[in-house]
Structure 1
Amino acid sequence: MVPLIDFLIHEWLDVDELLTRPRFAQHSRGSIDDLVTAASDIAGTYFEPAHRPSDLVEPYVAGDVAVLPEQTRAAWNAYRDFGFLAAAHDEEHGGMQVPRVADLATRAIFHASAASVSPALLTDANASLILKHGTEVQKRVFAETELIGRWTGTMAMSESQAGSSLSDVATRATPDGEDFQDDPLGHRYRVVGQKMWISNGENDLGENIIHLVLAKIPGPDGTVDPSTRGLSLFIVPKFVVDEDARIVERNDVTLVGLNHKLGMRGTANTALAFGDGGHEPGGRRGAIGYLVGEPGRGLAQMFHMMNAARTEIGLLGAAVGFAGFAVSLDYAKQRHQGRHPQAVGKVADSPQVAIVEHADVKRMLLAQKAFAEGALSLCLYAARLLDEQQTGEPADAARATRLLEILTPVVKSWPAEWCLEANSLAIQVLGGAGYTRDFPVEQYWRDQRLNMIHEGTHAIHGLDLLGRKVLLDDGALLADLHTVVNATGVAARTAGLVAEADDLLAAWSHVRETTDAAWSTGDPRDALANATPYLQGFGHVVVAWILLDVAVAASRSRHSEAPGKLAAMRYFYAYELPKIGAWLDVAGRREPLCRDLPLSEL
């Protein structure tokens, strides 16, 4: 994976230009390469040996702690001790101020080595949210302590009766006595409720676990706002601490149980109870929580964490897809079976060939390559936009923000769907061996399957894309995306990729026409009934654009990875891009079948 990352960040995304900006002045191309090399070394030494044990030895409960395999703890310690957790953060918060594109490149290496081992994903996102919305004391006590790896962090939104319908959240938070505003850690509340599907909600990796919990604050009459506008956000630690980050006492946060999953079994996925009376700090009911920002701003604040997590889920999907591709490519080169078609009837005189020489095996390998590399490139492009958003000139930063808005649904959902297909093809290349635990490809598939649900299903992201993003600011986000897609088409023609440029621009026109047609009646019920097919078609066109943009860079490069970039792009344009009509056409004609079908016909 390191050569691919080297090509993408240097030859395509021009990280060297980023390093001329003041925020990254202490870094050089050499230091970025050293960081990637260190990630590869640590991943090989600690993460790869933890991959299979994390699947075979699931977390178990001892007392009120979820115990993880020793290999997982060793991997986490190595990751933490090097400083990867805080790498992209400000130096004043203990970070290295590494560009996000380089930071996510290193994370791709760790994800490909052992997808379910590290809780860094939510710990980093948790700390980032507190740094964005918390008080100075909250930043120092909670975020900075997480970023050095002493504590881990979670996101506690879902509830068994609510799921993605956050307006139905039943967790409540009430002021903790008359002096609730006087606590140096923030306005202190008592939080009561249950949360479900909390990744690493319990673990034995650190001294404390910091939960970010969505809850509603009842009004004076005991009623709550029934909409998502009533949600507030609270920092609820497993152990109550003082303003010097010293543990004071056990908070009333109880592990109810572990969820046993198809894949990603090395992550302790938990159900938690807040304020059930198991550990009542101060002898009063409810877990102590500290309000983040203003009441009623919880969901808006949580989106800061969710969007970061969505990009990381896309990256996770890409990395696991790439891992499966690497194993199946190696297997296909070594496994000999069958003969070339021209050798039929001459078996005695014709040796068997490696299966990589068969056309259909090449097809499956090229598909995996296009899906995994397209997904990884898309996620690193999003990371490059984050850097532009933070350090670019005002107009460039604003455009990067708009592009991130419209691309995030695709960044999360497309890698999850199509790298699952890549992992399925990896099993197919190995044949019967792929279906056994003698090879890791079956675990990759199981680990990958969760990503289609993690951080929002396709339906949620389709509704977000077609129901909100393409309409924002009178279509300004879509117009920005049009500008960069069109620029790639122009550059591709200059590079001699004329047919592909024409195909891309025709496909993009199809997306624009479908968007207008879906909303032609002005009725959301008409437009949104086929939001998921719209997302699928939109996503395929976006990845076609990304792959062509990468291919343009490859066409002028002597990098060893360059020829493969052109092959992946050509596969996608020949075999995948023609599929978009099946998705976009049902959205464009506002197909009513699924919306109107009587339940009696199911």
Structure 2
Amino acid sequence: MNSVILSARDVDFLLHEWLDTDALFERPTFAQHSRETVDAVLELAQAVATEKFAPHARSNDLHEPTFDGTTVSLIPEVGVALKAFADAGFLTAGVPEDRGGGGLPTSIISACLAWFHAANTATSGYALLSMAAANLIRTHGSDAQRTLFAEPLADGRFTGTMALSEPGAGSNLSDLLTRAIPQEDGTHRLFGRKMWISGGDHELADNIVHLVLARTPDAAPGTKGISIFIVPKYLVAEDGSLGERNDIVLAGINHKMGSRGTVNTAPVLGDGAHTPGGAPGAVGHLVGEVGQGLPIMFSMMNEARLGVGIAGTAVGYTGYLKSLAYARERLQGRLLGAPPAGPQVALVEHPDVRRMLLAQKSFVEGALALMLYCSRLLDDAVSLDGRAAEEALALVGLLTPIAKSFPAQWCLEANTLAIQVMGGAGYTRDHDVEQHYRDNRLNAIHEGTHGIQGLDLLGRKVLLDRGRALGLLVARITQTAERATAAGGSGEGYAAKLLAMTARLRDVTTRVAVAGGGAEVLAEATAYLEGSGHLVVAWLWLEQWLAAHGKEGDFYDGKRAATAYFFSRELPKVGLWLDTVAAHDGLTTALDPTVL
């Protein structure tokens, strides 16, 4: 029986028939693995996700975390699932072997994580935060910090958070006010308030490792004065034993519309509720150098942004599969021209329902291809040498804002269509699809809003190094178009459309560069992001069309149908978005806010 969580067949197609994952095992970095070991890991991910994560997804939503002023309580199934995740080795499966991990390619880890997010994205959030925190400490921390904090995070005894935002700062980190006062013993004492901190308190683990952005007394203004600190819930002695409670408490928890099972908190540091060592202030350990907090945090942030993309993709994907299953079983209405007393037909027989299902398919399968392609670029960056590795890093840097934002917007649209396909049943709590919509709505805000990703892409990424990364992307798109043209048939038409829209993107980007990226231009950054995202996904659909070319069967016919849909219905939208960027007419910058 096919799963309604995720499609194992699609994952197999993307990894093996398209991305040729087997080629990775010929490189020294991944030579210890094989097709057999990878398939076993993917099967294990599907099993754990299905048996331990999916069953309590609804309960996680209906019985959200509670806070009694002292303790945050969650349903017990969350802890059981996270222990199963850790026991199966997923916390360290992607960590290099020389650092104690399984050394699996990132593309395989991303496919595994898609299973967990599709099954239960709220519970998965705790594990993903812990993995990202451990990776940051491994990369930038001292040997002692790796031993005392990264290792317990890796084996599931500790969990992690990212404590960036503050009540008065939000996404603008240059305004954060949390202070870090140096101490004679080399630690710092932190004072301040944070907001929107996922996983910020609970009883799931022995300890919680908060990675906190703060300013030292002589810090420069703006983002250059930010440092990053490890602030544990309980102090950790040199021998690894836990000590007294650190001076960090909750002002309360936030009640979200979706992903409710991932507790979201408002922590207070240094209010004197606890006085470790007899003095107020949360004890923190500086990671790296003073003033390097934001560059260090971005190593975790970029990983988290790709993680958000995987989450958005997976939640959209499971909604698609559930609405598809419903549409195949639900009898309703008759086709136009059929006798009124004739038998009813399944919803899937109606053309408009097919349109909505095909749209969902094009969004979620296109997004999964995007996420696995970015993951494969990370694999290339660590397993190739010289220029090839540099190009892979440049490309994934360019694509990260798109990989975070496209699933957050268009897989959410898939969730909307899933509700519509199911009609009245879709918006009732008797079915999962309304929860999937609410869960996915948060992903356009998590780890940098949609607008921030647009500013990052248009204001920085495409113009870096004289547009080198964009040039690399265009070269790869052109190579795909050449292969599709050679394949003939509809591939020739797809290639022509893709090349024409790619030329339009290059032209508009050049105009932006000449204009100097002023306020009126950057005001249209979201349109640029949306246009670029649709163009990239169209390219990856043509890649999938080529991988399916000449192969027979319903699965491959589905790939061809989704490609046709995306090129005929979605790719033309790119021109409209790029027209908006090229015009940069000042509509929003010149607008008097009083008219709103």
TM range (shorter): over 0.9
Which residue of the partner structure matches residue 413 of structure 1?
405
SS in 2 for 1:308: helix
CA distance in 2, matches of 1:416, 1:434: 20
**1:458-537 to 2 correspondences below 5 Å:** 458-496=450-488, 497-537=491-531
Which residue of the partner structure matches residue 4 of structure 2?
none
SS in 2 for 1:155: strand
Which residue of the partner structure matches residue 596 of structure 1?
590
CA distance in 2, matches of 1:25, 1:558: 33
Which residue of the partner structure matches residue 562 of structure 2?
568
Q: CA-to-partner distance for each residue in 1:414-437, whole Å, 9 max, x for gaps?
A: 100001100000000000000101
Which residue of the partner structure matches residue 435 of structure 2?
443
Q: CA-to-partner distance for each residue in 1:473-503, whole Å, 9 max, x for gaps?
A: 0111111111111111111112221000111
CA 1:116–1:523: 2 relative to 1, 3 Å: closer
- Indicate which of 36, 58, 65 corresponds to 1:59: 65
- Indicate which of 143, 148, 154 corresponds to 1:147: 154
**1:361-376 to 2 correspondences below 5 Å:** 361-376=353-368
Question: Structure 1 stretch 517-526 or stretch 140-149: which is displaced more?
Answer: 517-526
Question: Structure 1 stretch 557-566 or stretch 576-585: which is displaced more?
Answer: 557-566
Structure 2 residues without counterparts, runs of 5 or longer = 1-6
- Indicate which of 238, 243, 247 corresponds to 1:248: 243
Structure 1 residues without counterparts, runs of 5 or longer = 181-187
How far residue 93 of structure 1 moved from its aligned partner, in angstroms, is: 3.3
2:189 touches 2:281 (CA, 8 Å); kept in 1?
Answer: yes
CA distance in 2, matches of 1:275, 1:128: 27
> AA paired with 2:432?
P
1:170 touches 1:215 (CA, 8 Å); kept in 2?
Answer: yes
1:433 and 2:428 matched: no
> AA paired with 2:349?
E
1:329 and 2:328 matched: no
SS in 2 for 1:412: helix
1:318 and 2:313 matched: yes
Give the share of equivalent positions with the same residue, in percent: 51
- TM-score with structure 1 length normalisation? 0.96
Which residue of the partner structure matches residue 292 of structure 1?
287
**1:174-323 to 2 correspondences below 5 Å:** 174-176=181-183, 178-180=184-186, 188-219=187-218, 224-323=219-318
Which residue of the partner structure matches residue 185 of structure 1?
none
SS in 1 for 2:540: helix
1:518 touches 1:590 (CA, 8 Å); kept in 2?
Answer: no
How far residue 23 of structure 1 moved from its aligned partner, in angstroms, is: 2.3
How far residue 560 of structure 1 moved from its aligned partner, in angstroms, is: 6.4
Give the ranges of 4+ consecutive aligned residues of structure 1 lying more than 3 Å apart after TM superposition: 556-561
2:29 touches 2:382 (CA, 8 Å); kept in 1?
Answer: no
> AA paired with 1:171?
T
CA 1:65–1:401: 2 relative to 1, 3 Å: same
SS in 2 for 1:98: coil
SS in 2 for 1:117: helix
> AA paired with 2:388?
D
CA distance in 1, matches of 2:140, 2:192: 23
**1:155-174 to 2 correspondences below 5 Å:** 155-174=162-181
2:459 touches 2:517 (CA, 8 Å); kept in 1?
Answer: no
Which residue of the partner structure matches residue 352 of structure 1?
344
1:424 and 2:454 matched: no
**1:524-563 to 2 correspondences below 5 Å:** 524-557=518-551, 561-563=555-557
CA distance in 1, matches of 2:98, 2:360: 42
How far residue 557 of structure 1 moved from its aligned partner, in angstroms, is: 4.6
CA distance in 2, matches of 1:421, 1:44: 25
SS in 2 for 1:596: coil
**1:40-51 to 2 correspondences below 5 Å:** 40-51=46-57
How far residue 20 of structure 1 moved from its aligned partner, in angstroms, is: 1.6
Q: CA-to-partner distance for each residue in 1:489-534, whole Å, 9 max, x for gaps?
A: 1111122210001111111111111112234332522321111111
CA distance in 2, matches of 1:558, 1:313: 34
> AA paired with 1:25?
A
How far residue 563 of structure 1 moved from its aligned partner, in angstroms, is: 2.4
- Indicate which of 126, 139, 142 corresponds to 2:133: 126
1:94 touches 1:148 (CA, 8 Å); kept in 2?
Answer: no
CA distance in 2, matches of 1:299, 1:359: 50
1:213 touches 1:233 (CA, 8 Å); kept in 2?
Answer: yes
How far residue 258 of structure 1 moved from its aligned partner, in angstroms, is: 0.7
CA distance in 1, matches of 2:46, 2:553: 20
**1:373-392 to 2 correspondences below 5 Å:** 373-392=365-384
How far residue 598 of structure 1 moved from its aligned partner, in angstroms, is: 1.2
1:150 touches 1:207 (CA, 8 Å); kept in 2?
Answer: yes
